[in-house]
Amino acid sequence: MFTVKWMSHGKTEPVEVENSILTDLERVVSSAQAGLEGMRLRHIAAPPDGFIVVDNDGKEVRRWFDSKRSKA
């Protein structure tokens, strides 16, 4: 099982945290990428521009940010 932490670049706390029902890491990442626009619409005041995927042990296994929307 994986957890998706929706992040806004430059922030340390996630905008939202979701437990994924998917068990394949690549599918979790693809699903999160596809759901990013919807998550942005749900959080208009502070929209996420990416996500971090963590495993059952809380270890980060993937990080993805939309470079077109991220602010350095």
Look at the chain and report how many structural domains it folds into.
Answer: 1
Angle at 4 between CA 26 and CA 29, to 5 degrees: 20
Please write the tens of the pLDDT for every residue from 19-51: 999 999 999 999 999 999 999 999 999 999 999
Domain extent at residue 54: 2-65
Whether residue 6 lies inside any domain: the answer is yes
Q: pLDDT band for 66, please (50, 70, 90 cuts).
A: confident
Strand order of the β-sheet with 2-7 is 16-20, 2-7, 50-54, 60-65
Whether residue 22 lies inside any domain: the answer is yes
This prediction has a pTM of 0.88
Whether residue 70 lies inside any domain: the answer is no
Whether residue 28 lies inside any domain: the answer is yes
Whether residue 70 has pLDDT greater than 60: no
